[in-house]
Chain A
Amino acid sequence: METKHVTCASCDIKCSVLADVEDNRIIRVRRDPDHPITPHSLCNKGAAYPDQIYHPDRLLYPLKSVGARGEGKWARVTWDEAMDEIGERLNAIVDRYGPESVAATAGAVVPYDLTRRFLNVLGSPNYVSGTYLCLGNTSGVNRVTYGWQPFPDYWHTKVIVLWGHDPQPNKWTAEYLWIRNAIKNGAKLIVVDPRVCFSAKRADIHHRLRPGSDAALLLGWLNVIINEELYDKDFVKNWTVGFEQFRQHIQQYTPEKVEEITWVPADEVRAGARMYASGPAIIPWNPTLDQVSNSTQGLRAMGILRAICGNIDAEGGEMMMGYHPTVVTETEISMTELLPPEQRAKQLLLPGAKLLSYEFWEEYNEASEKVFGRKWAAQVLAGALANPGAVVKAMATGEPYPVKAFINVGSDPVTSFTDARHMHDGFMNLDLLVTNDIFMVPTAQMSDFILPAATWGEKYDLHNHWDWHTFMIGGDKAVEPLGEAKDEYHFWREIAIRVGQEKYWPWETQKDFFEYRLARIASSFEEFIGAGGLAAFDEHPILGSNPQYKKYEKTGFATPSGKVEIYSELMEKYGYDPMPKYVEQNGTAISDPEMAKEYPLYFFIGSKGDPYFQQQGRNIASLRRLAPEPWVEIHPETAYDLGLSDGDFVCVETPHGKLYAVAKHSDEAHPKVVRVPYRWWLPEQAPYAPNFSGLFQVSDNNITSDSAAFADPEQGIPSLRGMMCKVYAVERSPEYSQALSALGASWGGFSDTWGGSGRTGGTREATAAKA
């Protein structure tokens, strides 16, 4: 038996774990006690990996659709046959419609840089990614304030703010462990969350805020910190622009005013602000502020808060790590510089929303070159992101120009993006849809070609969270891929060489490619892994022998002024607010009280109560057993008033649509706020048209809108939080029940943790009462 050091990609935290391998078969995945970054880190998703890699439903052979799109008639073909035809058809599409008519994506746990490289070399600006409303947009707005997206120093911090973010033993486990250790070392914890979540129960301060009002709370904290002079005066004086204007501007956000907007009492606002300002502090990235239509305002306020309290590039604060000095970075691999200006200008966006455009990104090139030695600098490979709603509109209608081809790697865009009907209509209207994936998810079901993908134990890994933290972490390949599954590098290169890109893909294999990237520090990938699989450098603040903080004192910040831009003239130039303010989202009970009479509850889509990561795991028994049905969390008293018992099947309806789920009572819920499940598909249901595995029953994208009316005006992202809904009882359809029962029966039954026992997050008394 051999033990391999691999990177788990059951979620995008990417813990380094151990895989025990016998006869080219993975027999178990276990914790690595010695890894310097993620020691002892593993969750039940990673532990269940053998069930994924050896799952009977894995796609193992290339398939070509030989019926209508979405009909489910497949012929098995060879990789060469598939790729030859894909190449032919792509070339024809590009000749006729231009490279901009080809869009592509990469899912959360597969490489982004390869998709970007392909599109940039091709000449298409239409890279679509879930990061547009998750981490990527954060990096874009952080860039406005201080030219980079910092990474928290969990290892030395004294105050942690978890803002709508709840890492737990089995959810973002590595981060949970860093936070837990920080708290054991004396760090204080502030939790901002309408729910009494796992972290809230352990917090020093808990702000139960109204979803969608986050920017107001941040502005309230800023009001307190500025008026009580708790900020870092030297830093503000030497390294910011616009402070005095901002001081005037912030006066309106008194704690009392903020209480009205956010539900957080004024004295709590003060307490939270003072605690944040009390020590080196971190606000780890959270999805919440990325998924509201006042996201830009909130993220700007958050950036200013970090900066004026002296937390930027300070020990225990948020580190501006910069690029790795010797390993070729993902940003370089992306080759954004190859995309010609006239092609960049064709990027599909919501009108007026330019913050994630190439045009806006270009404004930072001079500063980036000065500070980082390169143009087109970005973390999360998110410098510019096309708007999925605009892209599928172009697919469906040809406006403003047709998008005819889509290459889908490790993602399920049809169920990923707002709104489900628009996604469906756009993708069904393509001339060419190519998917590289492991299971037959809805977008795969609609594809012309499916190329089987290698899972994480079947390929090598090199990651640094897309240049967000500098040190690079490597993972070995544990076993050869099953069937004819291949890694993403192989997939992209096969297409690339057939469309004239061969000179940009000279490395024959993924391993060769990684060895190219590591060439200045290791002569082979084996050597790199053998030496620990970690590429740090002397100046690194966590791992280096000579850690460097406050690098801005030498280089300035990568903003037009070279300083932290509390006031941003660039935002002003684009017609956006130069300083953040509070803007109520459209479609809430506050902005549309008439409509809210019919939709009396607030909702948010999120909260990782499930044992899943995004869409994965619904066909893995040990995971699906824990949460067999999508569930809506609702406070028991609220449910009582609505006549909803624990375990009732319900419809969640908004002005935009409906989804179906089970009601789950929990006194962790805020009485006014329901939690809506996300990224569900039902592998036990009929795939293909028209049902597509329950797409229009359970996807959260049935209830949100991609229209500009409900979008963040600067970014163009939809809102998933703080909007209005109603919840009422319905019956499960016979098809739904039968399919689910059959699935459970095939696994020897679901556990009895579901059916309203309240076990997950329940109380001792409640469980005893039911026993």
Chain B
Amino acid sequence: MTYVVTEGCIRCKYMDCVEVCPAQCFYEGATMLVINPAECIDCGLCEPTCPEEAIVPDSYPEAARWLDINQQYSLVWPNIRVAKDPPADAEEFHKRDNKFDEFFSPAPAPA
């Protein structure tokens, strides 16, 4: 049905996924990207590109808590079709635990 972006994206935002997505279904928040589940065509091309391994198919157990977040925020954040540079401090957040509680922001990406 869809892939979902999970915790690993937060504050890293490497955006290798955007580069390969043929359905333009990524949406950019201030601290992470999400996938619009209705637009994702299940091609799977994004999943292996993420250095954080943050993208998983919806059938994985860890996807469960992220499906709503992807659903909800893809409706309000701007669509991103071209990858940008990741934030300058992305490396500091590589493979860190519990990024959601500390760092998640509901704000869209700055214009």
Binding site for B on A (CB under 8 A): 28-33, 39-40, 42-44, 46-48, 168-170, 173, 180, 611, 622, 625-626, 751, 753, 759-764, 767-768, 771
Asked whether A30 lies within 8 Å of B43 as measured between CB atoms, the reply is no
A-facing residues in B64-111 (Cβ within 8 Å): 82-83
Number of interface residues of B (CB under 8 A): 21
Asked whether A47 lies within 8 Å of B42 as measured between CB atoms, the reply is yes
Asked whether A768 lies within 8 Å of B42 as measured between CB atoms, the reply is no
Report how far A595 CA is from B43 CA in the complex, Å: 42
10 A-B pairs with CB atoms under 8 Å apart are A31-B57, A40-B59, A47-B41, A169-B44, A170-B42, A611-B22, A759-B22, A764-B16, A767-B83, A768-B83
Q: Which of A32, A40, A43, A626 contacts B60 (CB 8 A)?
A: A40
- Contact A173:B44 (CB < 8 A) given known A40-B60, A42-B57: yes
Asked whether A751 lies within 8 Å of B41 as measured between CB atoms, the reply is no
A4 shortest CB reach to chain B, Å = 15
A441 shortest CB reach to chain B, Å = 24
Binding site for A on B (CB under 8 A): 1, 16, 19-20, 22-24, 41-45, 47-48, 57-61, 82-83
Which residue on chain A has the smallest CB distance to residue B24? A751
Extra contacts, 14 of them, besides A763-B19, A764-B83 (Cβ < 8 A), are A29-B1, A33-B59, A168-B45, A169-B48, A180-B48, A625-B22, A751-B24, A753-B22, A759-B19, A759-B20, A761-B20, A762-B19, A767-B19, A767-B83
Asked whether A43 lies within 8 Å of B42 as measured between CB atoms, the reply is yes
- Contact A43:B82 (CB < 8 A) given known A31-B57, A31-B58, A767-B19: no
Asked whether B24 lies within 8 Å of A28 as measured between CB atoms, the reply is no
Q: Which residues of B contact A626 (CB under 8 A)?
A: 22, 43
Report how far A768 CA is from B81 CA in the complex, Å: 10
- Contact A768:B22 (CB < 8 A) given known A40-B59, A42-B57: no
Q: Which residues of B contact A751 (CB under 8 A)?
A: 22-24
Residue of B16, B20, B45, B60 with most partner-chain A CB within 10 A: B45
Residue of A31, A611, A751, A761 with most partner-chain B CB within 10 A: A31
Asked whether B82 lies within 8 Å of A768 as measured between CB atoms, the reply is yes
Report how far A438 CA is from B48 CA in the complex, Å: 34
Report how far A30 CA is from B1 CA in the complex, Å: 5
A486 shortest CB reach to chain B, Å = 29
Asked whether B41 lies within 8 Å of A32 as measured between CB atoms, the reply is no
Asked whether A43 lies within 8 Å of B59 as measured between CB atoms, the reply is no
Report how far A31 CA is from B16 CA in the complex, Å: 24
Q: Which of B20, B45, B59, B61 contacts A31 (CB 8 A)?
A: B59
B24 shortest CB reach to chain A, Å = 7
B50 shortest CB reach to chain A, Å = 12
A200 shortest CB reach to chain B, Å = 13
Report how far A385 CA is from B63 CA in the complex, Å: 47
Report how far A32 CA is from B20 CA in the complex, Å: 25
Report how far A46 CA is from B57 CA in the complex, Å: 14
A767 shortest CB reach to chain B, Å = 6
B64 shortest CB reach to chain A, Å = 11
Closest 10 CB pairs of A and B: A169-B44, A31-B59, A47-B42, A44-B43, A33-B59, A771-B82, A44-B41, A170-B43, A30-B1, A753-B22
Report how far A114 CA is from B1 CA in the complex, Å: 33
Report how far A39 CA is from B60 CA in the complex, Å: 10
B80 shortest CB reach to chain A, Å = 11
Which residue on chain A has the smallest CB distance to residue B48? A169
Q: Which residues of B contact A43 (CB under 8 A)?
A: 42-44
Which residue on chain A has the smallest CB distance to residue B84? A768
Q: Which residues of A contact B59 (CB under 8 A)?
A: 30-33, 39-40
Q: Which residues of B contact A32 (CB under 8 A)?
A: 59
Asked whether B82 lies within 8 Å of A169 as measured between CB atoms, the reply is no
Q: Which of A40, A622, A763, A767 contacts B41 (CB 8 A)?
A: A622
Report how far A47 CA is from B47 CA in the complex, Å: 16
Q: Which residues of B contact A625 (CB under 8 A)?
A: 22
Report how far A169 CA is from B20 CA in the complex, Å: 12
Q: Which residues of A contact B47 (CB under 8 A)?
A: 169
Q: Which residues of A contact B58 (CB under 8 A)?
A: 30-31
Report how far A74 CA is from B75 CA in the complex, Å: 48
- Contact A47:B23 (CB < 8 A) given known A40-B59, A767-B82: no
Q: Which residues of A contact B22 (CB under 8 A)?
A: 611, 625-626, 751, 753, 759-760
A439 shortest CB reach to chain B, Å = 21
Asked whether A760 lies within 8 Å of B82 as measured between CB atoms, the reply is no
Q: Which residues of A contact B43 (CB under 8 A)?
A: 43-44, 169-170, 611, 626
B88 shortest CB reach to chain A, Å = 16
Which residue on chain B has the smallest CB distance to residue A770? B82
B12 shortest CB reach to chain A, Å = 15
Residue of B19, B41, B43, B47 with most partner-chain A CB within 10 A: B43
Q: Which residues of A contact B83 (CB under 8 A)?
A: 764, 767-768
B7 shortest CB reach to chain A, Å = 19
B57 shortest CB reach to chain A, Å = 5
Which residue on chain A has the smallest CB distance to residue B49? A169
Q: Which residues of B contact A611 (CB under 8 A)?
A: 22, 43
Which residue on chain B has the smallest CB distance to residue A202? B48
Report how far A13 CA is from B108 CA in the complex, Å: 41
Q: Which residues of B contact A40 (CB under 8 A)?
A: 57, 59-60
Which residue on chain B has the smallest CB distance to residue A176? B44
A676 shortest CB reach to chain B, Å = 22
Report how far A31 CA is from B57 CA in the complex, Å: 8
A35 shortest CB reach to chain B, Å = 10
Asked whether B1 lies within 8 Å of A28 as measured between CB atoms, the reply is yes
Q: Which residues of A contact B44 (CB under 8 A)?
A: 43-44, 168-170, 173
Asked whether A760 lies within 8 Å of B41 as measured between CB atoms, the reply is no
A510 shortest CB reach to chain B, Å = 28
A148 shortest CB reach to chain B, Å = 33
Report how far A763 CA is from B20 CA in the complex, Å: 9
Report how far A764 CA is from B41 CA in the complex, Å: 22
Asked whether A33 lies within 8 Å of B42 as measured between CB atoms, the reply is no
Q: Which residues of B contact A622 (CB under 8 A)?
A: 41
Q: Which residues of A contact B45 (CB under 8 A)?
A: 168-170, 760
Report how far A689 CA is from B19 CA in the complex, Å: 43
Q: Which of B41, B57, B61 contacts A48 (CB 8 A)?
A: B41
Asked whether A760 lies within 8 Å of B42 as measured between CB atoms, the reply is no
Which residue on chain A has the smallest CB distance to residue B61? A33
Which residue on chain B has the smallest CB distance to residue A28? B1
Q: Which of B19, B23, B61 contacts A764 (CB 8 A)?
A: B19
Report how far A47 CA is from B44 CA in the complex, Å: 11
Q: Which of A42, A762, A763 contacts B42 (CB 8 A)?
A: A42
Q: Which residues of B contact A42 (CB under 8 A)?
A: 42, 57
Q: Which residues of A contact B57 (CB under 8 A)?
A: 31, 40, 42
